[in-house]
C-alpha cells in the first residue's frame, strides 16, 4: 500500500479549503443571495438576471408567496367584486387594465438560475465568512448578498390576546384572512391608525362592503388622517370626507384596551375618552419597525434616528453586502440628509440599483433618485408626492379655482410645496393632479431659495383630466 497516496492532501488555497468544508457540511453556494421576498428583492433579481448571464440566485423569504406588490392590498384588490380574488389575486388597475398581484408566476422560481426558499427566516449573517444562517440551521454561502427585509407591523398589547380577532396587516395572507372575514357582511371592524395603511384600508373596505352592512370605526391619536403629511386644513378635509362616506372616526383618540366579551363572543374596545363599543375585529395599523434583526454575530451600523441599516451611496452596508427598500437608511443627495423611506417606488428603485451594483462589471453607481409615493382614500382624496413632505414644515399651497358650477369650497386639484427654514422647496404634493412628479423633482433638485412665495404659483401646472 502506498501510504503517501492515501494521505489526504492539505488544501492548496483558502478557496479550496472552503469548498471542501462546504461539501462536508452540505453548504450550498450561490453567487447572489437575496434576503426578503418583497418589492426591493424582486427588482434586484430582475437587474441581476439582466446583467449576469452566469448568475445563480437564491431568494429567501419568510412568507409563503413569491414576490408581489403591496399597494393593491389596501386598494384595488378590495374593489374586484369577486370573492375568488383571494385565490386569483387578479384585479384591474386605475386604467382598467387587468393585473395580478404577483410580479411573476410561481413557475419562474425553482430552476438552476433562480431558487426560492419560502417560509424560512434568515436569523444571522456571518459577514466575514459570507454565510447566511436560516432558522432551520441551514448555512448558505454567498458571493454577494442583499438584505431587503422591509419592516414588521408594530404590535400593540391589549387584554385580549385573540390573534384571530386582533390582527396587523401587511401581507397577502393578511389580505386573504381579512377579506374572508368581511366578505359575508354584517360585521363591525375597528381600524387603529390614521396613517397610510389604516386610512386606505378603512376607505377601501367601507367603499366596497358598506352595502353588505360592514360598519367601521377608525381610531387614531392625531387630529385628522394623514396628518403627518397633509397641512392641517387638508387633513381635516380628508377626515370629513371619510366621515361623510359612512365611517365613524375617532380622531385625537387612543384605544385604551380591547377585551374579550365572553357573553357574545365579540370584543369590547375602550377608548381613552371613556367611550366604549363592541366590535368583531380590530386591525392594528400602527406603523412598522424596520427588520434589522438579520445580522447578529457581526455589527452593522443601525441608524439611531431613522432606523434601518446605514448604507453608503452605492447601497452597500459592507463590501458585497447591500441593503434596499424600507430597511435601508441612505443619504438623499437632493435633500442633503440621511433618511429612510417606506414607499413602493423607493423599494423598486433601490432594489434595481442594488441589483445593478451587485452584478455590474462597471463601477457601482450611487443612488441619486428622488422616489415618489401616492395614496388614494375616498374618491376625490388622492395624490402623488415627492421629497420631504412632513407637515411640520412650512407649506404653500396653490389650488385650482373651483369651476363656476361648484359653488362649495372643495379641494379638487392643488400643489402643496413644503419649504425648509431657508425657504427652499424640499417636498411637493400634487393633490388630484397627476403626472407632475418629474417637474416636482426638478424644483427640489434646484435647491433655489424662494424669495417670494408667489413665484410658486405657476411652478407646476394642472392636468386636464
Ligand atoms: P417588503 O415588501 O416588506 O418585503 C420584505 C420581505 O422580507 C417580506 O417578504 C418579509 O416577509 C421578508 N423578510 C423579513 N425578514 C426576513 C428574514 N429575516 N428572513 C427572510 N425573509 C424576511 N407604498 C406606496 O408608495 N404606495 C402605496 O400605495 C403603498 N401601499 C401599501 C399598501 C400596504 C398594505 C402596505 C403594507 C404597504 C404599502 N406601501 C405603499 C409601502 C410599500 O409597499 C413598501 O414600502 C414596500 O413593500 C417595501 O418593500 P421592501 O421590499 O423593502 O419590503
Ligand atoms: P404610518 O406610520 O403611516 O401610521 C401609523 C399610525 O399609527 C398613525 O396614525 C400613528 O399615530 C398610529 N400609531 C402609532 N403607534 C400607535 C400607538 N401606540 N397607539 C395608537 N396609534 C398608534 O404607518 P401605517 O399606516 O401603519 O402603514 C404601515 C406601513 O405601510 C408604512 O411604512 C407605510 O408607509 C406603508 N404604507 C404606505 C402606503 C402608501 O404609501 N400609500 C399605503 C399603505 C401602507
Mean per-residue pLDDT, 249-266 = 97
Q: In this structure, what C-alpha cell is assigned to residue 184?
A: 359575508
Give the pLDDT score at 410: 77
User: Is the shortest distance between the CB of 221 and ligand 2 below 6 Å?
Assistant: yes
pLDDT band at residue 8, thresholds of 50, 70 and 90?
low
How would you class 281 by CB atoms within 10 Å of its CB: exposed for 0-12, middle for 13-18, buried for 19 or more?
Answer: buried
How many angstroms does the Cα of residue 23 sit away from the middle of ligand 2? Answer: 46
Mutate to test the pocket of ligand 1, among 36, 77, 285 (most ligand atoms within 8 A of CB): 36
3-state secondary structure at position 141: strand
Could you report the per-residue pLDDT of 318-364, keeping only the tens digit for each? Answer: 999 999 999 999 999 999 999 999 999 999 999 999 999 999 999 99
Dist CA 255 CA 221 (whole Å): 9
C-alpha cell at 365: 453607481
pLDDT at 363: 95
Rounded distance between C-alpha atoms, residue 68 and residue 91, angstroms:
13
Is the pLDDT reported for residue 298 higher than 90? no
Among all bound ligands, the one having the nearest atom to the CA of 38 is 1
Give the model's pLDDT for residue 16.
Answer: 76
ipTM: 0.99
C-alpha 23, offset from chain centre: 38
- Smallest Cα–Cα separation from 388: which of 374, 375, 413, 370? 370
**Cα–Cα distance between 386 and 380 in angstroms, integer?**
19
Tell me what pLDDT residue 17 has. Answer: 73
Span from the CA of 69 to the centroid of ligand 1 (angstroms): 8
Q: Is 156 in the pocket of ligand 2 (CB under 6 A)?
A: yes
As a whole number, mean pLDDT of residues 66-95 equals 96
Q: Which contiguous run of DSSP H or E holds residue 180? A: helix 172-182
Calpha distance 191→199 (Å, rounded): 8
Q: Whose CA is nearest to atom 23 of ligand 2?
A: 287
Q: How many angstroms separate the CA atoms of 165 and 424, rounded? A: 47
Confidence of residue 219 (pLDDT cuts 50, 70, 90): very high
Ligand 2 atom having least distance to the Cα of 196: 25
From the CA of 40, give the closest atom in ligand 1. Answer: 51
Helices (H), 1-63: 3-6, 14-24, 39-51
Q: What ligand 1 atom has the least distance to the C-alpha of 346?
A: 45
> CA quadruple 381, 243, 250, 203: dihedral positive or negative?
negative
Amino acid at each position: 500500500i502506498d501510504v503517501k497516496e492515501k494521505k489526504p492532501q492539505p488544501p492548496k488555497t483558502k478557496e479550496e479549503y472552503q469548498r471542501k468544508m462546504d461539501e462536508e457540511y452540505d453548504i450550498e453556494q450561490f453567487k447572489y443571495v437575496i434576503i426578503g421576498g418583497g418589492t426591493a428583492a424582486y427588482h434586484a433579481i430582475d437587474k441581476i438576471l439582466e446583467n449576469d448571464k452566469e448568475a445563480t440566485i437564491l431568494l429567501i423569504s419568510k412568507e409563503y408567496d413569491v414576490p408581489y406588490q403591496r399597494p393593491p392590498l389596501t386598494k384595488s384588490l378590495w374593489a374586484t367584486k369577486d370573492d375568488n380574488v383571494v385565490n386569483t389575486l387578479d384585479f384591474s388597475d386605475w386604467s382598467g387594465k387587468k393585473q395580478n398581484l404577483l410580479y411573476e408566476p410561481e413557475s419562474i422560481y425553482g430552476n438552476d438560475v433562480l431558487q426560492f426558499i419560502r417560509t424560512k427566516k434568515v436569523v444571522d449573517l456571518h459577514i466575514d465568512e459570507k454565510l447566511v444562517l436560516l432558522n432551520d440551521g441551514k448555512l448558505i454561502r454567498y458571493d454577494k448578498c442583499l438584505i431587503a427585509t422591509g419592516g414588521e407591523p408594530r404590535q400593540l398589547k391589549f387584554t385580549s390576546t385573540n390573534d384571530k380577532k386582533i390582527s396587523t396587516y401587511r401581507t397577502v395572507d393578511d389580505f386573504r384572512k381579512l377579506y374572508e372575514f368581511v366578505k359575508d357582511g354584517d360585521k363591525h371592524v375597528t381600524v387603529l391608525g390614521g396613517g397610510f395603511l389604516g386610512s386606505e384600508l378603512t376607505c377601501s373596505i367601507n367603499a366596497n362592503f358598506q352595502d353588505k352592512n360592514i360598519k367601521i370605526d377608525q381610531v387614531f391619536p392625531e387630529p385628522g388622517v394623514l396628518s403627518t403629511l397633509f397641512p392641517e386644513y387638508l387633513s381635516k378635509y380628508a377626515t370629513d370626507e371619510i366621515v361623510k362616506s359612512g365611517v365613524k372616526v375617532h380622531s385625537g383618540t387612543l384605544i385604551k384596551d380591547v377585551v374579550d366579551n365572553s357573553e357574545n363572543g365579540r370584543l369590547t374596545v375602550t377608548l381613552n375618552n371613556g367611550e366604549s363599543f363592541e366590535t368583531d375585529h380590530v386591525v392594528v395599523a400602527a406603523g412598522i419597525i424596520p427588520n434589522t434583526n438579520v445580522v447578529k454575530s457581526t455589527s452593522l451600523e443601525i441608524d439611531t434616528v431613522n432606523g434601518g441599516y446605514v448604507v453608503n451611496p452605492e447601497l452597500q452596508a459592507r463590501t458585497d453586502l447591500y441593503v434596499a427598500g424600507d430597511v435601508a437608511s441612505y443619504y438623499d443627495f437632493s435633500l442633503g440628509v440621511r433618511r429612510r423611506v417606506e414607499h413602493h417606488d423607493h423599494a423598486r428603485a433601490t432594489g434595481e440599483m442594488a441589483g445593478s451594483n451587485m452584478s455590474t462589471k462597471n463601477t457601482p453607481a450611487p443612488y441619486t433618485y428622488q422616489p415618489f409615493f401616492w395614496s388614494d382614500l375616498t374618491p376625490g382624496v388622492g395624490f402623488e408626492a415627492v421629497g420631504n413632505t412632513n407637515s411640520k414644515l412650512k407649506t404653500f399651497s396653490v389650488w385650482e379655482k373651483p369651476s363656476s358650477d361648484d359653488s362649495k369650497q372643495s379641494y379638487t386639484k392643488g400643489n402643496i410645496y413644503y419649504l425648509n427654514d431657508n425657504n427652499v422647496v424640499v417636498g411637493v404634493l400634487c393633490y388630484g393632479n397627476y403626472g407632475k412628479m418629474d417637474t416636482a423633482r426638478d424644483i427640489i433638485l434646484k435647491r433655489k431659495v424662494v424669495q417670494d412665495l408667489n413665484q410658486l404659483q405657476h411652478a407646476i401646472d394642472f392636468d386636464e383630466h
